[in-house]
């Protein structure tokens, strides 16, 4: 800072001795000029200066002479100095300019920028006459201090970012050459152990839960002379093709796909619910259950009671390991039975209500196992509409996947089978989540791994909003993309509105704003990522702030979670800090060079009540903010 003030003094001296300095033709002109004119500094005469305050004495400036500076300076500065809000606005504008202009710049370039700023500040003030010259210096000094601080901060954080980017890029590269993923998302390894099932595979794939793979790995690495636990690739399918013709079409495609994915080294055992299903599910890793074959919730419960049972070792063989991943195929509309056309489908038989109960049942069975010393169970609920006769003769795929129950329409049998294959063996985000899918995948059309990953990435959170923000900067050589950086800085700035007393944000829930911890991820197809988390906090006023829909959600939660597992220790719940939920906003640059903003739920566990109203408030503000950014981008053409 000392050094800087010194250079400032030199700079100022130099410029004033040179006399009038013109406006430098730089992009920095625009915001500065605009700002000075709105402030009321007219270029014609000091007389035109009017404060917004009505009681301002118009003759004041006339009376002030430079020679008398010692006497009037204090008062004058008080009148002329920038208000906090003005400083704030100016700072935001300058910051934007700096972030924009100096992404790849070194300190020298920033110094140049500062010089230009100083020149312009002086030039514009000069026109106000001698009296304001001193004030300009005062204002400038304030300003320069801020800029100085900002650029230091900017460079500091950027350095970290650069380093992190390089590290991650290096790690990704290593992971790519060794065929393993870097993060859990790509599940190449769990706890240092390979969980890839099968041999010579170019894509990581996993049957059964991550946890059971880890245990299997631990057992087989116990080199106590025990024979390693050999596991066959096995899938248990429960379906009733008589009850649901679509199932037959889907299974015909799926068995072919599984054979291909596991190089024919896989067994598929198919049973109807009424048949004699083996205890422990034949030690299959996955149970794929078409809910249309079940009558209701209790049929699922008794079925799983059998299938998930551990079986005793037979004649010196290893003990059986029951399935650790249950995939339930359900139907679109089970969460929308009040809406057409689902209300009609549900009307006489309550068909969708029953499916909904089955969905809720698998969720609570999975959760209930986590604290009982039982083997953990992953679940996936996949919702399809009607299964079409075929996928058509098109030349492209049209598969859409969303979390929850939000899509309407048919699905082709090949598309459905591929979605199931992904959910069963390839997609970590499909674990413990509910998804719906529509569309078609004509045979002969192949979908790349990265495209599949991108279709499933919305399940993480889950995602509640995605806005495309156009391409990043063109220059591909740069590690840092100025467009991305600018958008990220902009979103961070936006999020500060929720800090402090959050006045005027419309939120009734208190929040904390924190940086996102999610870095770029090869698996997610994201090369740059930054973001913020807006975390909901407990209200002292408690339930008074709950909205109708939040109340409903709470009630639902009680209904679904309560009936299966009621006996969990209440003391344990109280002692644990409650996760109140939150919204994480991620600014991302994808592998294709596109910028996007995604919002996902965060800070959740299964006791968290979703705060839909608060989410909506944040999302609608975010939409506006991103829209403004995209529009500004259109105007300035960058």
Ligand X SMILES: *[C@@H]1O[C@H](CO)[C@@H](O)[C@H](O)[C@H]1NC(C)=O
Binding interface with ligand X (CB under 6 A): 210-211, 366-367, 370, 376, 378, 392-393, 431-432
Give the shortest CB-211-to-ligand X separation in angstroms.
5
Closer residue to ligand X, CB minimum distance, 8 or 210: 210
Tell me, what DSSP letter sits at residue 434? E
Rounded Cα gap, residues 570 and 582, in angstroms: 25
**Three-state SS for 219?**
helix
User: Of 382 and 618, which CB lies nearer to ligand X in the complex structure?
Assistant: 382
Residue nearest to ligand X (CB): 376
Q: Are 117 and 28 in contact (CB under 8 A)?
A: yes
Which letter does DSSP use for residue 237 in this model?
E
Nearer to ligand X, 244 or 391 (CB): 391
Closest separation in Å from C-beta 460 to ligand X: 11
Do 483 and 638 touch, CB atoms closer than 8 A? yes
- Please identify, using beta-carbon distances, which residue of 326 and 488 lies nearer to ligand X: 326
Residue with tokens 């799926």: 254
Q: Which residue lies nearer to ligand X by CB, 113 or 210?
A: 210
**What end-to-end distance do the CA atoms of the chain give, in Å?**
34
CB closer to ligand X, 213 vs 236:
213
CB of 509 to ligand X, least distance (A): 26
Contact 96, 490 (CB under 8 A): yes
Q: How far apart, in whole angstroms, are the C-alpha atoms of residue 164 and residue 528?
A: 10
Pick between residue 349 and residue 393 the one whose CB is nearest to ligand X: 393
3-state secondary structure 353-386: HHHHHHHHHHHHHHHHHHCCCCCCCEEEEEEECC
CA distance 449 to 37: 55
Whether residue 322 contacts residue 369, with contact meaning beta carbons closer than 8 Å, is answered with no
Give min distance, CB of 325 to ligand X, in A. Answer: 9
Tokens representing residue 565 in the block: 């597992």
Minimum distance from residue 532 beta carbon to ligand X (Å): 24
Considering beta carbons, is residue 148 or 391 the nearer one to ligand X? 391
- Per-residue CA distances from 172 to 165, 187, 194, 529 (Å): 10, 13, 17, 15
Integer Cα distance of 3 and 557 in angstroms: 61
Q: Tell me whether residue 211 or residue 244 sits nearer to ligand X (CB atom).
A: 211
- Per the document, the length of the chain is 638
Report the nearest approach of ligand X to the CB of residue 442 (Å).
Answer: 9
Residue 27 Cβ vs ligand X, minimum distance, rounded to whole Å:
49
| Separation of alpha carbons 601 and 368, rounded Å | 23
Q: How many CA atoms lie within 13 A of 511 on its CB side?
A: 30
Choice between 146 and 214, CB closer to ligand X: 214
Structure tokens that stand for 606 in this block: 């299964």
> Are 259 and 251 within 8 A, CB to CB?
no
Angle separating helix axes 130-178 and 107-126, nearest 10 degrees: 160
- Minimum Å gap between C-beta 392 and ligand X is 4
Q: Report in angstroms how near the CB of residue 490 gets to ligand X at its nearest.
A: 34
Structural element, H or E, at residue 511:
strand 511-515
The span from the CA of 444 to the CA of 391, in Å, is 11
Closer to ligand X at the Cβ: 393 or 575?
393
């Amino acid at each position: 800072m000392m050094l800087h003030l010194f250079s400032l003094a030199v700079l100022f001296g130099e410029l004033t001795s040179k006399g009038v300095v013109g406006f430098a033709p730089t992009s920095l002109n625009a915001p500065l000029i605009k700002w000075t004119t709105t402030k009321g500094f007219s270029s014609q005469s000091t007389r035109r200066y009017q404060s917004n305050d009505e009681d301002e004495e118009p003759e004041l400036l006339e009376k002030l002479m430079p020679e008398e500076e010692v006497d009037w300076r204090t008062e004058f500065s008080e009148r002329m100095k920038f208000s906090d809000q003005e400083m704030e606005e100016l700072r935001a504008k300058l910051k934007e300019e700096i972030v924009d202009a100096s992404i790849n710049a070194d300190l020298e370039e920033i110094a140049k920028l500062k010089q230009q700023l100083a020149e312009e500040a002086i030039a514009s003030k000069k026109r106000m006459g001698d009296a304001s010259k001193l004030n300009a210096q005062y204002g400038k000094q304030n300003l320069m201090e801020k800029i100085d601080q900002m650029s230091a901060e900017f460079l500091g954080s950027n350095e970290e970012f650069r380093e992190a980017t390089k590290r991650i890029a290096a790690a990704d590269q290593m992971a790519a050459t060794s065929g393993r993923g870097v993060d859990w998302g790509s599940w190449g390894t769990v706890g240092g152990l390979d969980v890839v099932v099968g041999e010579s595979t170019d894509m990581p794939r996993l049957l059964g839960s991550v946890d059971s793979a880890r245990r299997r790995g631990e057992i087989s690495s116990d080199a106590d002379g025990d024979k390693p636990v050999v596991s066959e690739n096995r899938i248990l399918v429960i379906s009733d093709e008589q009850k649901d013709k679509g199932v037959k079409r889907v299974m015909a495609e799926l068995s072919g796909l599984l054979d291909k994915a596991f190089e024919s080294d896989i067994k598929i055992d198919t049973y109807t619910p009424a048949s004699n299903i083996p205890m422990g599910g034949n030690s299959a890793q996955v149970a794929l259950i078409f809910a249309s074959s079940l009558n209701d919730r209790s049929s699922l419960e008794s079925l799983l009671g059998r299938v998930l049972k551990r079986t005793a070792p037979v004649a010196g063989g290893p003990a059986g390991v029951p399935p650790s991943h249950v995939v339930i195929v359900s139907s679109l509309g089970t969460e929308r039975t009040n809406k057409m056309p689902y209300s009609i489908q549900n009307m006489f038989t309550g068909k969708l209500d029953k499916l909904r109960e089955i969905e809720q049942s698998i969720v609570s069975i999975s959760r209930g196992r986590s604290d009982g010393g039982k083997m953990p169970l992953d679940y996936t609920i996949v919702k399809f509409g009607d299964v079409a006769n075929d996928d058509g003769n098109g030349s492209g795929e049209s598969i859409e996947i969303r979390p929850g129950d939000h899509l309407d329409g048919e699905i082709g049998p090949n598309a459905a089978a591929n979605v199931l294959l992904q959910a069963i063996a390839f997609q970590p985000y499909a674990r413990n989540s509910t998804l719906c899918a529509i569309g078609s995948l004509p045979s002969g059309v192949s979908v790349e791994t990265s495209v599949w990953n991108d279709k499933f990435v919305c399940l993480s959170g889950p995602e509640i909003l995605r806005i495309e923000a156009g391409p990043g900067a063109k220059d591909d050589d740069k590690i840092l993309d100025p467009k991305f950086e600018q958008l990220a800085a902009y979103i961070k700035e936006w999020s500060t509105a929720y800090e402090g007393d959050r006045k005027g944000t419309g939120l009734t829930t208190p929040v904390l704003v924190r940086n996102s911890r999610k870095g770029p991820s090869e698996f997610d197809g994201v090369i740059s990522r930054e973001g913020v988390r807006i975390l909901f906090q407990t209200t002292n006023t408690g339930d008074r702030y709950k909205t109708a829909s939040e109340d409903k959600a709470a009630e639902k939660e009680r209904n679904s979670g309560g009936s299966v597992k009621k006996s969990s220790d209440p003391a344990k719940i109280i002692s644990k800090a409650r996760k109140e939920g939150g919204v994480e906003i991620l600014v991302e640059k994808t592998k294709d060079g596109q910028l996007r903003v995604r919002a996902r739920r965060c800070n959740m566990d299964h006791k968290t009540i979703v705060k839909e109203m608060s989410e909506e408030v944040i999302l609608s503000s975010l939409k506006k903010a991103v829209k403004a950014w995209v529009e500004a981008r259109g105007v300035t053409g960058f």
